Amino acid sequence: MKRQKSFENEQPTLYLVATPIGNLSEMTPRAIEILKSVDVIAAEDTRNTMKLLSHFGISTKCIAHHMHNEYESAKGLMALLEEGKNIAVVSDAGYPLVSDPGQSVVTMVIDAGYNVVPVSGANAALNALVASGLTAQPFMFVGFLKANENERKKACLELSKIKQTMIFYEAPHRIKKTLETFLDVFGNRKICLAREITKKHEEFIRGYISEVIEVCDDLKGEMVLVLEGCLDDEISDEIPFSVIHDAIHSYIEQGYSTKEAIKKVAKDHGLSKNEIYKQYHSC
């Protein structure tokens, strides 16, 4: 067990500082104070962060800490903490670690016994959730799905019986394909597509998946999808065999034999292995 009393020790601290997701007015006074006071700021993209720092008159040294160098960078940040320096980690927008870099260094810092302290701020997922009109709790944050269609379908199939409201992030060039996968796997559930949150063109599109698909072709900007969870009367329904078929082929593409793939899909979804085998080979 590790017990951290953040402000009752003299250990070096790693701050996780949330930054605005669009509207700079949402930068908190505490976040500004922390970024001014630390020895180093580790940023997902130093170019974007320098613009933010310049806006608020922050002159603290800024170094790169992004997905492509996350592990090596984490070791460098650990060395700075060992020297007694305090560090702030920021992503381009919102919280570090939430679909952004930071997990490696947080794990290392906790294991080493230093402080890890969050600094509150904007978060696209929570903003979208509370304004979606769907049940706000309990909820499940999923983040980005895989771009590959088979992998995306497999992930959705695994989520298909989740009762909690689910939150996804998606890029505009993949939004239609993702919604089509949702419709295929989840059925025509209620959904809210939130985009450009806190910015001038903020928009919430609330309705059923089939309705949102019809208007998504020309949508731009960062997107959050808030999806209705599985209703009780859906749980007893059979999963469409097209979805089962795709899941089997996804395992086969990963190197499993057909027999092994069928066994894994049956186990994943609590289905009869023999029944899947019969349906699969009758196609």
The CATH fold of domain 13-122: Cobalt-precorrin-4 Transmethylase; domain 1 (3.40.1010)
For residue 240, whether the previous peptide bond is cis, meaning omega lies within 30 degrees of 0, is no
pLDDT given at position 37: 97
Tell me the fold of 125-233: 3.30.950
Strand pairing class (115-119; 139-144): unpaired
Helix axis angle for 103-112 and 70-82, nearest 10°, is 30
Partner residues linked to 242 by β-bridges: none
pLDDT of residue 123: 95
Whether 13-122 shares its CATH topology with 125-233 is answered no
Intervals of the chain under pLDDT 70: 233-238, 282-283
Predicted TM-score (pTM) of the model is 0.80
Residue 210 near residue 184, CB atoms below 8 Å: no
Q: What is the largest CA-CA distance in the chain?
A: 68
Specify whether the CB–CB gap between 44 and 88 falls below 8 A: no
H helical segments located in 87-148: 103-112, 124-131
| DSSP 3-state of 207 | strand
pLDDT at position 212 is: 96
pLDDT, position 244: 82
For the chain, the structural domain boundaries read: 13-122, 125-233, 241-282
